Structure 1
């Protein structure tokens, strides 16, 4: 019996008192959208394993960001772990205001998301959004984004369309996260310049010689795009599925944890489930904290993991 199986067998302990009523049948299947970003893919993979071991079935579907919020608002998806704010305000705020989407928790309180530049450009004076147009030739009139429909891409397109910061002659190169990183890493190897969407947590902050640009406060928020990541759900989710809502409200991450999860995938181990499983094995106290006040789907109390009671330390 391996270590993972051992603690999973110890995860639930039957008790004759204090049982919660089982949730609505609809709650038994938790539908989780995945927009393809490595950080959200990995936090979703971790959540999926935990959910499975406390009696829930899960379904993950790859979707664009606009599709994700529409699906949540229409009740076709249940929970999304990747609501970056304020960058995604235009996509999600109308649904939050109407109650068709609800915020459950801020799962990562301090992150960053804005435009960045490779070191040669920064060292030459490209340090602000307003500087980009002055180096049009060195940049090849290009700004590198990620997948089509992403809110960051939409903001850059708006700047180009409206000639904000003098960007009227630029082109946004849309790609996947990996596609964008491949472009930028190749530029770095060749000693060339590149302006691109950057964020942390992400291993790019260690792999690239990069700096974040000032001056984008009206688009990405102040302090170089300082942001937070929220867990959001379809409207009415917490009332219908209180046990699940408790779990997702308990489920928070750290930059160090997410960097560890992402690095293991990006540096060669593409088996996301194996990476998530190993991280869970190495972080029993974190998982115990997530399970405080949470029961098995059937209403059975959860005693702890790895021989620990929730909140207990070794």
Structure 2
């Protein structure tokens, strides 16, 4: 029996949606990393019960950290993106988390930079607060070890293609790391939006929106670029088609990043039929009812979509590009200096 709701929320489901195609479905994925990170900080004495944990978030990590703080008797201070919606604001308020939300902005880089600057201000005023640094601290890898063990147990020791959003690097990167420690032959396929510096697509704009949570306009310190074999870049319209098809065909109601990962996983599975593909569904589709699922009649048929193969990021183009990354190092714009926040 679980001792706290966060433990149940953080436990993923493994669903075989098609022959050789598996969905790793989370209700809220970052609960896994937040719970393990806070537990580790308490166990090592870096923080104590009652301390205040602070971080920046566009939404999902805010909820995850608030749950972890509730579980372990900590205070929670979130500097939130302009995209944090009413439902999440209300949940954070009832959970006792303090949310400072940035003013409206259409510039993602400005929104992220403002949030980091505000966190630094808070830390100067309250040096006893602990900055979780979800985008930079490898402590957020820890929670995925148990998930990797479960994948290993249920899918076997054969070759596997792991597909999912890159984000802060503490999900697909961590899962591949722990699976490889178990000698699993893993191909790691990262999914990125256009406009993200992480794998060099900042020069390509998506006319709709940047897919939240899988890319960034600022460098992230815990993305291990050398772990990735292949990268797919998908625009909003392609990800929408994937999300709608996943619900219509397999009854899996998941977010926009999942739709992108599902498309990429279908393609990788077709390219290498002998390798099962597992894609990560990081959250449910509730945040996207209006912006994605309400537009389901506009969705393209996934059978009509295919990636454009590119040999360098200067060749990237909408709506879908694929490139063999082959463990290359971070692009210059994605490199993190010693003062990263």
Superposition TM-score, scaled by structure 1 size: 0.31
Question: Higher helix share goes to which structure?
Answer: 1
**Which protein has greater RCO, CA pairs closer than 8 Å, 6+ apart?**
1
Superposition TM-score, scaled by structure 2 size: 0.29
